[in-house]
């Protein structure tokens, strides 16, 4: 049974990410959720906070590990001895950039394949970006993110003023 890496910025983790993580946990021996530490854009949550939230949300999944990485994803995947990279797909619009990344990663590391998992339809509109936007405008995000994230999002935006 393979070991997979599910990478992302998770700023913050949403119910859409959790759906992919839970489905991977059922299907693979080991799942490493890999948080991209050096995100290009300024993230709302620090790497430490993003890791902490994911660890809280994945506590009930014994075969899921949450880890941080920087640098090339394929180097991290090799270092961890994983078999596949898993990516979630929401819409056709995700496809083009994911295809480009997957092809480039295979060129860099021919032994590492990327598997795509389709989102559950109820999460197809959901992204970390939209969650932050709704929360900033005072909307309710309770059904879009895990409870621990909702609480931290509220606190973070309050402290930002």
* Separation CA 120–CA 20 (nearest Å): 9
Say whether residue 101 binds ligand ADP (CB under 6 A). no
Closest separation between CB of residue 131 and ligand ADP, Å? 8
Say whether residue 43 binds ligand ADP (CB under 6 A). no
Q: Which among 41, 60, 107, 158 is annotated as catalytic?
A: 41
> Of 5, 17, 57, 82, which lies in the binding site for ligand ADP, with binding defined by CB under 6 A?
17
- 44 Cβ contact list (under 8 Å, min separation 6): 11, 12, 132, 156
> Of 90, 106, 109, 156, which lies in the binding site for ligand ADP, with binding defined by CB under 6 A?
90
Q: Catalytic site residue 41?
A: yes
Radius of gyration of the chain (CA): 15
Q: Beta-carbon neighbour count of residue 83 at 10 Å?
A: 17
Residue matched to tokens 């393979």: 2
Binding footprint of ligand ADP on the chain (CB under 6 A): 8-10, 14, 16-17, 20, 87-88, 90, 94, 119, 123, 126-129
């Amino acid at each position: 049974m393979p070991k997979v890496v599910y990478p992302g910025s998770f700023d913050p983790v949403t119910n859409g990410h959790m759906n992919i993580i839970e489905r991977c946990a059922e299907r693979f021996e080991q799942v490493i959720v890999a948080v991209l530490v050096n995100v290009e854009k300024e993230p709302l949550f620090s790497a430490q906070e993003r890791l902490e939230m994911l660890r809280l949300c994945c506590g009930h999944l014994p075969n899921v590990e949450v880890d941080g990485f920087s640098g090339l994803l394929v180097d991290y995947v090799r270092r961890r001895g994983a078999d596949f990279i898993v990516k979630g797909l929401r819409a056709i619009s995700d496809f083009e950039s994911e295809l480009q990344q997957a092809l480039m990663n295979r060129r860099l590391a021919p032994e590492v394949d990327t598997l795509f998992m389709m989102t559950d339809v109820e999460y197809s509109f959901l992204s970390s970006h939209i969650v932050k936007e709704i929360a900033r405008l005072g909307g309710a995000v309770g059904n879009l993110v895990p409870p621990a994230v909702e609480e931290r999002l509220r606190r973070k935006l309050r402290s930002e003023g």
